[in-house]
């Protein structure tokens, strides 16, 4: 009864897949341990389309070597094709397939893989027997495996005992027929393999039944591979992250290139490279400030100097000079008393236009020496300050008051309270008269000098005039003497002839 049910199940599967083609027929096959004495038991017997005799006598089945703990066989489909199901007919020796059949124990525990290489571990496990017994294992059997691949691999082993009751001690192939049903042409699916797979299926492969893609080409996702990568992803399975594209735009869904340039601080086709040292901003075209403390090192996006500024500069990008009466490193130093409270030099603190009254030096940080005050400390304190020579370095005011007889901030006013000393008035008067006399004498000397110069010029003039008159008289006399002599010479000349 169980055999009848198994055959019914098999017939139903074949009926569903009757439109699919046996793409393994007469393809190249191979087995790991061939039976060396009988060439007619080779691996190709499983794909020759013959299965009328399931014994060893008609050469329709694969027979592997005895006493091996692993059995492996594969067929090469020639290229990666879409697969629907796999049909396997195991050796029966033409006896009833039930628990008493000696070959059921050899079939138990088998596996089927679909791989793109001859290594089963690189592929997809379609089926692994873990529950069949000698009484329940179907033969023939159909294994549904909707995938794609090039190699269909049958495998069994007895390498990890103990095994369940009924398992054979050794592993065998003993395959009388293996048929692989699918579409013989890449890129099609459906009962008649007449429907084209969606455009963006990877290598044109789709589910042989419903046409869903068995993987998408780079840049697409979804069962029909009709959705472009988004959300900052690109490439195969949208597993790659976009670079720093301008304004965080989506990069090209296939190759990841940034179509509208990069965000500030990045460059390159994929905007994955950060600016080189000393550059920042859009396309890394801007240069870091030369006034960054570590010259040429700034934030690749904002251009802010990461280690602060050099002496005399401030601001995020160190492009502003110190001001507000400050200078030096981090603008932490206070300017001196520059003229009219002007800003000192932003780097070294020197006062470029001199100092306020009362101060001197390059930085205008030194107050006038005792006894001096005012601009450049060129003015002297009043001699009438008490004690002498001590006054305010800016105003010149006597800080400890005035000597007796003087008053005012600078002690330059005579004190007059009705008891002024006669001696003081006499002294002042005498001093004033002396000044007047000196001035008169000076004027007299100047006038006297001018008169002497005038007299000398007049005398020189008269002498010159007399000399000119004498010269003219002599000239006339000589003229008179020359006349007769000339006449005489002419007469002598005439006589000679």
Tell me the three state secondary structure of residue 72.
Answer: strand
Nearest by Cα to 155 from 101, 115, 97: 115
Q: How far apart are CA 76 and CA 87, in angstroms?
A: 16
Question: In this structure, are residues 156 and 90 in contact, taking their beta carbons and an 8 Å threshold?
Answer: no
Q: How many residues does the chain have?
A: 497
Q: Residue 3: what pLDDT?
A: 37
Q: Residue 482: what pLDDT?
A: 41
Q: How far apart are CA 149 and CA 147, in angstroms?
A: 7
From residue 300, alpha-carbon distances to 253, 270, 278, 280 in Å are 27, 17, 8, 4
Q: Residue 464: what pLDDT?
A: 53
Q: How far apart are CA 318 and CA 298, in angstroms?
A: 10
Nearest by Cα to 201 from 80, 312, 87: 80
Nearest by Cα to 104 from 133, 127, 130: 133
Q: Cβ neighbours of residue 447 under 8 Å, at least 6 residues apart?
A: none
Q: Residue 438: what pLDDT?
A: 81
pLDDT one digit per residue (tens) for the chain, 497 residues: 333 334 344 444 444 444 799 999 999 999 999 987 777 899 999 999 999 999 999 999 999 999 999 999 999 999 999 999 999 999 999 999 999 999 999 999 999 999 999 999 999 999 999 999 999 999 999 999 999 999 999 999 999 999 999 999 999 999 999 999 999 999 999 988 999 999 999 988 899 999 999 899 999 999 999 999 999 999 999 999 999 999 989 999 999 999 999 999 999 999 999 999 999 999 999 999 999 998 778 999 999 998 999 999 999 999 999 999 999 999 999 999 999 999 999 999 999 999 999 999 989 999 999 889 999 999 999 888 987 778 999 999 998 889 888 999 889 888 876 555 555 555 556 666 767 788 887 787 888 777 777 776 666 555 555 554 434 443 443 443 344 444 433 333 333 33
Helix (H) or strand (E) holding 310: none
Q: How far apart are CA 391 and CA 410, in angstroms?
A: 8
Q: How far apart are CA 73 and CA 35, in angstroms?
A: 13
Question: In this structure, are residues 97 and 104 in contact, taking their beta carbons and an 8 Å threshold?
Answer: yes
Q: How far apart are CA 441 and CA 430, in angstroms?
A: 17
Q: Residue 463: what pLDDT?
A: 58
């Amino acid at each position: 009864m169980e055999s009848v049910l198994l055959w019914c199940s098999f017939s139903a599967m074949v009926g569903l897949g009757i439109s699919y083609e046996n793409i393994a027929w007469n393809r190249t096959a191979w087995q790991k341990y061939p039976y060396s004495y009988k060439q007619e038991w080779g691996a190709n017997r499983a794909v020759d389309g013959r299965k009328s005799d399931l014994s060893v006598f008609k050469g329709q089945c694969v027979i592997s070597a005895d006493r091996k703990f692993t059995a492996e066989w594969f067929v090469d489909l020639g290229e990666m094709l879409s697969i629907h199901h796999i049909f396997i007919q195991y050796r029966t020796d033409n006896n009833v397939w039930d628990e008493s059949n000696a070959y059921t124990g050899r079939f138990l525990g088998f596996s089927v893989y679909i791989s793109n290489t001859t290594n089963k571990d690189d592929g997809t496990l379609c089926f692994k027997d873990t529950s069949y017994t000698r009484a329940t294992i179907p033969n023939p059997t159909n294994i549904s495996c909707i995938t794609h691949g090039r190699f269909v691999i049958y495998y069994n082993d007895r390498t990890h005992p103990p095994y369940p009751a009924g398992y054979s001690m050794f592993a065998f192939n003993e395959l009388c027929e293996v048929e692989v049903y699918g579409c013989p042409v890449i890129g099609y699916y459906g009962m008649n393999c007449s429907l084209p797979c969606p455009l963006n299926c990877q290598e044109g492969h789709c589910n042989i039944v419903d046409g869903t893609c068995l993987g998408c080409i780079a840049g697409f996702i979804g069962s029909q591979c009709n959705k472009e990568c988004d959300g900052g992803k690109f490439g195969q399975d949208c597993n790659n992250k976009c670079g720093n594209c301008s304004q965080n735009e989506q990069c090209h869904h296939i190759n990841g290139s940034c179509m509208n340039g990069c965000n500030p601080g990045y460059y390159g086709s994929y905007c994955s490279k950060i600016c080189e040292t000393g550059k920042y901003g859009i396309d890394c075209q801007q240069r870091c400030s030369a006034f960054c403390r570590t010259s040429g090192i700034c934030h690749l996006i904002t251009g802010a100097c990461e280690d602060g500024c050099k002496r005399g500069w401030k601001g995020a990008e160190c492009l502003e000079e110190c001001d507000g009466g400050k200078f030096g490193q981090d603008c932490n130093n206070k300017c001196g008393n520059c003229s009219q409270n002007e800003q000192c030099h932003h780097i070294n603190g020197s006062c470029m236009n001199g100092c306020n009254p009362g101060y001197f030096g390059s930085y205008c940080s030194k107050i006038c020496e005792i006894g001096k005050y005012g601009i450049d400390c060129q003015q002297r304190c009043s001699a009438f300050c008490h004690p002498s020579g001590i006054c305010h370095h800016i105003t010149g005011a006597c800080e400890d008051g005035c000597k007796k007889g003087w008053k005012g901030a600078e002690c330059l006013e005579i004190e007059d309270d009705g008891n002024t000393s006669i001696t003081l008035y006499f002294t002042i008067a005498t001093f004033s008269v002396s000044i007047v006399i000196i001035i008169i004498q000076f004027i007299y000397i100047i006038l006297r000098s001018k008169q002497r110069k005038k007299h000398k010029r007049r005398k020189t003039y008269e002498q010159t005039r007399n000399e000119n008159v004498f010269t003219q008289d002599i000239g006339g006399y000589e003229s008179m003497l020359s006349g007769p002599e000339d006449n005489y010479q002419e007469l002598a000349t005439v006589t000679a002839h």
